[in-house]
Structure 1
């Protein structure tokens, strides 16, 4: 049982680790100034590929649930991330976004009846401090709209994580992931065309390689692993793994782009890893779920999350 859980944690951790490579791929392989195009080409082709593989469309309420989850986890999240990235230094955006684990913990208490433990609170604060030391610069400027967008992105993603746990799909994991990627990509498409205009007339082999990586590895594979983790673990355990993303980005910048790492950054990375470990060992998975009302009838007991 412990071995299975460890394997699930490791596989789920691959998703934020892959997302940590997005900055490197974007700066080195993609055309500049087209983040929304990158978001669309990351989500939509990956979703269509999974639909082609599974050959299954949503049924019943999962038409609108897929749209809601696709908007929260991908479409609206990417759009807010785009605004934050353009109006804030990357370190500020990442630091504001690191409040997501605490948001997930709070929403899990409200929507899933899970207890908010002191260990999770300590891990959340430790994670924010770690990310701040890792990526925040002393001369970073603040912009009210940018901060609001970064915080909004953390809120919608946190809501998407918790609702992904609350709503159990009748279809396979690949099909459900495909539905969300298509929904998110379709929501982003008109926004990208309005803000950035049509795609470049010519794309180089490097551009195509970058877009292909973001779509197949960064979306189809990573989101499948992410949603698999949400299904098998508690939302709090999963979302703390997201702290690995800025850590991987910093390490890749050091290795591939010759970006130095100071002592404070190394301390920040250690704190971020500590927060991840605290979240996995803080006892949150053993807390009983509360009894919550269900539309199908009287109050039902929700299965405790492993």
Structure 2
């Protein structure tokens, strides 16, 4: 599972970079709405061409709606707005809060035990997060509302990750992803049109290039890998890999957006990696679930 997790992390870290390019040509919620709609329709066409059923059993409608609202509308909608004012590197650093969110959700909602080493690892990683965020706030004068939106989005994703794992949705990953994208787009379009309907969009290479990468590499590729990691390792183990996103995010931001990498960024990254290693070593092996057609892609 390590190779899949690393590929997922690279794709997920690249999302902030592609979004920054797209935001140079259009407003955030419109960009997000187009992304979710195109990605969902593309998967719908694939399902139709391959003669798979398009409508899931009625018992899964509510779980799919909840996943779409949490993972797509709230998490990514809030993230797109935040990325209008914060650096991509800082955003990817905040993605590292997801394991802490997952642990807290599992602790207080599912009453699961958090080991001492996991707490130490998460405290170490959070210290790195605070170091990098504090330096970025001071240097770029990042507004607090954007950080609040990131925290809101990460909380929604943690809730969605845990909910997916405990709901045992017996559907192929591609179908789950398709419906969470279409549901999320349906919920987001009224907000986007109501707040950004009069904002001009430049239909240039930056806009379409960002959309193509966000749809193919992230909404489809990364999310299918994410569901694969959740099925085989659980929400807690899968989310720990998100701690690597600051490393990849800072490198991509430096290469593609010319964002600075400071000693504080390096120190924060080392603390995050140390927390990841400690938490991973102390994490108990997740029980394997009986596999059905849900592993078909």
Indicate the TM-score class for this superposition, using the shorter chain for normalisation. Answer: 0.7 to 0.9
Check if 1:27 corresponds to 2:20. Answer: yes
Listed one character per residue, the Cα deviations across residues 138-179 of structure 1 (whole Å, up to 9, x for unaligned) are: 346575644443322222111001001011122211111111
Q: Is the 8 A contact 1:130 1:267 kept in 2?
A: yes
Alignment correspondent of 1:253:
253
Alignment of 1:156-305 (within 5 A): 156-197=156-197, 200=200, 203-285=203-285
Q: Is the 8 A contact 1:37 1:199 kept in 2?
A: no
Tell me, which stretches of 5 or more residues in structure 1 are unaligned? 1-7, 290-301
Q: Is the 8 A contact 1:12 1:228 kept in 2?
A: no
* More RCO (CA 8 Å, sep 6+): 2
Distance 1:187 1:118, change over 3 A: same
Alpha-carbon shift at residue 124 of structure 1 (Å): 1.5
Deviates more, 1:30-39 or 1:55-64: 30-39
Alignment correspondent of 1:100:
98
Distance in 1 separating the partners of 2:143 and 2:158: 22
Alpha-carbon shift at residue 68 of structure 1 (Å): 0.5
Distance in 2 separating the partners of 1:86 and 1:234: 32
Distance 1:145 1:255, change over 3 A: closer
SS at 2:58 equivalent? coil
Distance in 2 separating the partners of 1:202 and 1:16: 30
Q: More helix per residue: 1 or 2? A: 2
Alignment correspondent of 1:5:
none
SS at 2:168 equivalent? coil
Among 126, 133, 137, which residue is 2:124 paired with? 126
Among 14, 35, 41, which residue is 2:34 paired with? 41
Alignment correspondent of 1:53:
46
Distance in 2 separating the partners of 1:26 and 1:148: 19
Alignment correspondent of 1:79:
77
Q: Is the 8 A contact 2:161 2:230 kept in 1?
A: yes
- RMSD in angstroms over aligned alpha carbons? 2.9
Listed one character per residue, the Cα deviations across residues 25-71 of structure 1 (whole Å, up to 9, x for unaligned) are: 23345544511122122222112222222243221121121111111
Distance in 1 separating the partners of 2:22 and 2:171: 35
